[in-house]
Amino acid sequence: MAVVGIDSVIYGVEDLETGVRFFTDWGLKKVRTAKDAVAFETRQGTQVVLRPHDAPDLPPAPAPGSSAREVIWGVKNKRDLDAIERELSKDRLVRRDRAGAIHAVDPMGFGVGFRLWRGRRLPPSRAPINGPGRRDRVSKHGSLRDRARPARLGHVVFFAPDFAEAEAFYTKRLGFVISDRIRGRAVYLRCALESDHHNLFYMKTEQPAPTFNHLAFEVDDIHEVLGGGMYINERGWQTEIGPGRHKASSAYFWYFKNPCGGAAEYFADSDWCDARWKPQTFEPIPAHFAEWAVHAGIPRFTGFAGPAPLQTEDKVGSR
């Protein structure tokens, strides 16, 4: 079953107006406004959809408050879509909507859906880099990023009391692949053999109910992670952690608290895996999370007077 990636994430939101303001500042394009839904789009065409938290057709909320309620995955063709419908129908209710997408609930109680992939092809990111033996940028300043324009939805993360049950569901039933583990605590899953380091991450929680943790948005490079993060800071949104660089996945990141639930992450330069990738098991210590990280964010630099000019030789030491 050829899953391509995350097509859309649907939130149930208590304060729709604030949620709309957040994702507008985040750099997404608003593509639809209706009484019961506001849809935003990445550059690829993948979407974030905000719905009222009490919309009757949303999957049940595993926990109170605003939260992601459903992740819809894109698949390559109708044959794959039909195969997933048959598989999931073996032990759970599956609904097919008027657009042809199928909807169910995963073992943790989160909505999971599938539809034909509608993402647009993205042009390759070719940020010029200078380094030893490589001079891509000659007689030019590097580009500056005043804010982010996310390219695509990269991954989604959940907490669960029993993440092993979620792991079995996604790998054995839907063909997801294990990339790495945190011993006894979490599993990184990718939706295809050749894909991002992870599209789905389930972590163990001691709480009785599963919860949504964050949704990650890929941007072009570390400059866009930093420029986007500083812009979001200026707009008054609170950093959760970042910027920094992950150990697992190697990606640069910056997380912000999201009024629609959990956090939102900018990331860039993540590992890309294929059949040659060898899964690792990380020990469950905080240091696995990041090679380095700033905990309070970085405010935009506002300038300073600069260093005092060097004194000329005839003034130095003159009496």
How much is the pLDDT for 79? 95
How far apart CA 56 and CA 14 sit, in angstroms, is: 14
Q: Considering the domain boundaries, does residue 298 fall inside one?
A: no
Q: Write the DSSP assignment of the chain as a string of letters.
A: --EEEEEEEEEEES-HHHHHHHHHHHTPEEEEEETTEEEEE-TTS-EEEEEETT-TTSPPPSSSSSEEEEEEEEESSHHHHHHHHHHHTTTS--EE-TTS-EEEE-TTS-EEEEEE--PPPPPPP----EETTEE---SSPPP--SS----EEEEEEEEETTHHHHHHIIIIIT--EEEEEETTTEEEEESSSSEES-SEEEEE-SSSS-EEEEEEEE-SSHHHHHHHHHHHHHTTPPEEEEEEEESTT--EEEEEE-TTSSEEEEEES--EE-TT---EEE-SSGGGTEEEE-SS--PPP-----PPPPPPTTTTT--
Residues 149-161 pLDDT 10s: 999 999 999 999 9
Question: Taking the CB of residue 8, how many other CB atoms lie within 10 A of it?
Answer: 23
State how far Cα 43 lies from the chain centre. Answer: 14
The pTM assigned to this predicted structure is 0.92
Q: Are strands 263-268 and 3-13 parallel, antiparallel or unpaired?
A: unpaired
| Type of residue numbered 20 | V
How much is the pLDDT for 235? 96
Instruction: Compute the mean pLDDT over every residue in the chain, rounded to the nearest whole number.
Output: 91
Residues 94-135 pLDDT 10s: 999 999 999 999 999 999 999 999 999 998 877 788 989 999
Q: Which of 104, 103, 101 is nearest to 115 (CA)?
A: 101
Question: Structural domain tally of the chain?
Answer: 1
Token reading at 284: 């469950």
State how far Cα 20 lies from the chain centre. Answer: 18
Instruction: Name which residue leads in pLDDT, 123 or 85.
Output: 85
Q: Residue 278: pLDDT above 60?
A: yes
Residues 23-78 pLDDT 10s: 999 999 999 999 899 999 999 999 999 999 999 999 988 888 999 999 999 999 99
Q: Please report which confidence band the pLDDT of residue 309 belongs to, taking 50, 70 and 90 as the band edges.
A: low
Q: Considering the domain boundaries, does residue 307 fall inside one?
A: no
How far apart CA 43 and CA 29 sit, in angstroms, is: 8
Domain CATH number, residue 100:
3.10.180.10
Q: Which domain holds residue 266?
A: 3-118+147-293
Place of tokens 């539809």: 115
How much is the pLDDT for 313? 46
Q: Considering the domain boundaries, does residue 233 fall inside one?
A: yes
Burial per residue of 85-112, b for 16 or more beta-carbon CB atoms within 10 angstroms, e otherwise: eebbeeeeebeeeeeebbbbbbbbbbbb
Q: Considering the domain boundaries, does residue 9 fall inside one?
A: yes
Full 3-state SS string of 52-99: ECCCCCCCCCCCCCCEEEEEEEEECCHHHHHHHHHHHCCCCCCEECCC
Q: Residue 318: pLDDT above 50?
A: no
User: In sequence order, which residues have a C-beta less than 8 Å from that of residue 188 and are 6 or more positions away?
Assistant: 178, 179, 180, 181, 197, 198, 201, 248, 249
Q: Considering the domain boundaries, does residue 201 fall inside one?
A: yes
Q: Considering the domain boundaries, does residue 14 fall inside one?
A: yes
How far apart CA 220 and CA 47 sit, in angstroms, is: 18
Q: Considering the domain boundaries, does residue 312 fall inside one?
A: no
How much is the pLDDT for 306? 57
Q: Considering the domain boundaries, does residue 124 fall inside one?
A: no
What radius of gyration do the chain's Cα atoms show? 22
Q: Using an 8 Å Cβ cutoff, are 200 and 106 in contact?
A: no
